[in-house]
Amino acid sequence: MELRAAAEQDYPAIVRLLSNKSDLFRVYPKGQHPFTTDQLRALAQCREALTVVAHQGEIIGFANLYNVIPDASAFIGNVIVAPQARGQGVGRLLVSYMAQQAICRFQVREIRISVFNDNTAAILLYSSLGFVPHGVEVRHNPEGQTMALIHMRQCVTESPNQTP
């Protein structure tokens, strides 16, 4: 597997990762279904460190950083792993890499990530990586059902000068 900066030519493959309304809501609640390369291009204008995971030439994961406050905090956002690659360590690799990017590039002391209550696999993954819940926000999914958006954070204890 290869982790690398997302390029414009990757956008169609990233958009395909968010092909259904449920995945789009979980990953990018403000996105409009069907998700398009134009929406991704607009999102890229306000995000940092857009990153893809590629395997045998196929994009199988994507994430980025947002609300970056250098020397303070950053959010890991838009984490998505292709359905056929889930449960194989791609999410762990991607989230760990994004955390290191936040630490090394922006010297943050706290990394944040949010996850909906019905995404058990992601909640367990983030917990295993040292993220702990610190808040809950009420949201409504596209069908109008009440959801809990769980805000999690991880305090950085390592030297910010370490390279990923």
pLDDT, one tens digit per residue, over 120-156 is 999 999 999 999 999 999 999 999 999 999 999 999 9
The token duo for 153 is 């954070």
On whether the CB atoms of residues 69 and 32 are closer than 8 A, the answer is: no
Residue at 22: amino acid letter = S
Helix (H, G, I), strand (E, B) or coil at 148: strand
Integer CA distances (angstroms), 58 to 53, 61, 104, in order: 8, 9, 27
Q: How far is CA 121 from CA 41, 42, 84, 88, 133, in A?
A: 28, 29, 15, 12, 15
Dihedral sign for Cα atoms in the order 59, 97, 78, 136: positive
pLDDT tens per residue, range 12-41: 999 999 989 999 999 999 999 999 999 999
d(CA 126, CA 92): 8
Sorted by where each starts, the structural domains of the chain and their CATH numbers stand as: 2-112 (3.40.630.30)
pLDDT in tens, 4-16: 999 999 999 999 9
**What is the predicted pLDDT for the residue at 157?**
82
